[in-house]
Amino acid sequence: MFERDDETTVERVIQHLRRPVAIDAGLDARVMQAIAKAPPQRRRVRPLWPLLAAAAVLAAVLIARPWTRSVPKADTLQFVLIAPQAASVALVGDFNDWDPARAPMQTAHGVWATMVRLEPGRYRYAFLVNGVEWRADPSAPAAKDDEFGTPSSVVTVGGRGS
Amino acid sequence: MILATLLLVTQVAAQDPRLERLDPDARSAVAAIVDSAHGIGLPVEPLIQRALEGATKGAPSARIVAAVRRLTVDLGTARTALGTNAVPAELEAAVAALRAGATPEVLAHLRDVRRPPLTMALSVLADLVASGVPADSAAAAVLALAPKARDADLVEFRRAVERDIALGAPPAAATSVRVNAGANAVFTQGSDPGNPAPPRPRRP
């Protein structure tokens, strides 16, 4: 019973869909007229130059890294003197006001050593052995302009890729 | 006038208690020099350090004062050559270069070809001369390398020249050979960019 009703319904739908559709004869003309009246639409292209300029500035900053140039780099240096017979050795120089009491060196089997953190600059220094004997650092450039009659050495901390 | 001078000297000495280590005669003279240097914008710390060096080494007062005065003059010459933008460390290194025999024109040329700071370049110049390299050869070498070399490159260059000299090479020849050898051959010796050594305290 239900199957018969369904077939009838489907048949009706098919007949309905097969009916010819009446289209207004002036439709095409009206559509074309409306298109002709519409203002021409220009496609907006977003300009690229601001993005390119920003990228160029960013690249320049990253390459130059100006913040690294303005911050001087300190460096930790190790000073060593081999003096097996010495009872005491002090490192004195421009970095500690030439005060022997401020930089006593530690020894291990006659090798005296100490570490000093230095800001960028050129420093004169010397070793004071047993409180009386001045020695230059044999592993560093000599201070050529010694005006006090005792040897000194120089060390330079650059702060630019050093 | 005398009273004003005395007040000024007393004021400077009071500002820096480190000068108390000097004899009274040297102290007042050094304080006056330091104050005048400060007045014309020169760095005063190198002057104080030079005075303290003399005091610790037991130098006579007259020699200490002469050394401080001479350093003041040289700092002024260095600043004239490098310009008023030079930092104290550069001026100190420039003094060493001047005393090694570099001319103010060399310093000015270096300022023009190298990006600051110039401290290491000037120091290497002075150190090369101290190693026996003629001043004009040292200046020419540093000027040739200065535009592109890093500070570490200049230090390695100086060490290479010193090694060659220690092995018997004439200083001027060692310098020119190392300059002509080219930056890559000289500066990358023994380095392995793919396997960098761990950081450690370096030696002077």
pLDDT in tens, A43-78: 666 777 778 888 887 777 666 555 544 455 788 999
The reply to whether B114 and B49 lie within a common domain is no
Q: What are phi and psi of A79, to 5 degrees?
A: -110, 130
- β-pair partners for A92: A126
Look up the CATH number of domain A72-157: 2.60.40.10
- β-pair partners for A111: A82, A108
Query: Lowest mean pLDDT: which of A19-33, B26-40, B95-109, B170-184?
Result: A19-33
- B182 is a domain residue: yes
Give the model's pLDDT for residue B202. Answer: 63
Give the model's pLDDT for residue A66. Answer: 53
> Scanning the structure block, which residue is given the tokens 């003041």?
B72
The reply to whether B98 and B187 lie within a common domain is yes
Q: A21-30, A54-63, A132-141, B185-194: which has the highest mean pLDDT? A: A132-141
**Sheet with A111-118, edge to edge strand ranges:** A75-82, A111-118, A106-108
The reply to whether B36 and B74 lie within a common domain is yes
Residues of A whose CB is below 8 A from B150: 160-162
**Contact at CB, B120 and A160, closer than 8 angstroms:** yes
User: Most B CBs within 10 Å: which of A92, A96, A122, A134, as the mutation test of the B interface?
Assistant: A122
**Contact at CB, B18 and A140, closer than 8 angstroms:** no
The reply to whether B61 and B114 lie within a common domain is no
Give the model's pLDDT for residue A65. Answer: 56
Give the model's pLDDT for residue A43. Answer: 65
Residues of B whose CB is below 8 A from A161: 150-153
The reply to whether B96 and B65 lie within a common domain is no
Backbone CA torsion sign across A113, B160, B88, B19: positive
Give the model's pLDDT for residue A42. Answer: 65
Number of domains in chain B: 2
Nearest CA distance, A65 vs chain B (angstrom): 14
Question: Band of the pLDDT at A33, cuts 50, 70, 90?
Answer: confident
Structure tokens, A155: 């060390």
Q: Which domain holds residue B35?
A: 1-82
The reply to whether B63 and B117 lie within a common domain is no
Flag whether pLDDT at B194 surpasses 50: no
- Listed residue (A93, A115, A10) closest to B49, CA to CA: A93
User: Most A CBs within 10 Å: which of B57, B90, B191, as the mutation test of the A interface?
Assistant: B57
The reply to whether B43 and B68 lie within a common domain is yes
What residue ranges do the domains of chain A occupy? 72-157
- B197 is a domain residue: no
- B126 is a domain residue: yes
**Contact at CB, B202 and A78, closer than 8 angstroms:** yes
**Contact at CB, A145 and B99, closer than 8 angstroms:** yes
**Contact at CB, B124 and A154, closer than 8 angstroms:** no
The reply to whether B74 and B119 lie within a common domain is no
Of B34, B55, B82, the residue that ends a domain is B82
State chain B's mean pLDDT as an integer. Answer: 86
Question: Band of the pLDDT at B199, cuts 50, 70, 90?
Answer: very low
Collect all residues from B whose CB is shorter than 8 A from any CB in A.
Answer: 18, 46, 49, 52-57, 59, 63-64, 66-67, 70, 88-89, 92-93, 96, 99-100, 117, 119-120, 122-124, 126-127, 129-131, 150-155, 158, 201-204
User: Out of B55, B130, B151, whose CB is closest to A158?
Assistant: B151
For residue range B3-52, list pLDDT tens digits in order.
454 444 445 545 689 999 999 989 999 999 999 999 999 999 999 999 99
| pTM for the structure as a whole | 0.71
Of B67, B82, B97, the residue that ends a domain is B82
The reply to whether B104 and B173 lie within a common domain is yes
The reply to whether B116 and B24 lie within a common domain is no
The reply to whether B32 and B98 lie within a common domain is no
User: Out of A97, A122, A148, whose CB is closest to B92?
Assistant: A122
Q: Who wins on pLDDT, A18 or B128? A: B128
**Contact at CB, A142 and B130, closer than 8 angstroms:** yes
For residue range A144-155, list pLDDT tens digits in order.
777 899 999 999
Q: What is the ipTM of this complex?
A: 0.79
Nearest CA distance, B151 vs chain A (angstrom): 5
The reply to whether B36 and B112 lie within a common domain is no
Measured between CA atoms, the residue of chain B closest to residue A115 is B201
User: Out of A76, A120, A161, whose CB is closest to B152?
Assistant: A161
Of B82, B116, B135, the residue that ends a domain is B82
Residues of B whose CB is below 8 A from A115: 201
CB A105 within 8 A of CB A112: yes
Burial of A5 (0-12, 13-18, 19+ CB in 10 A): exposed
For residue range B122-172, list pLDDT tens digits in order.
999 999 999 999 999 999 999 999 999 999 999 999 999 999 999 999 999
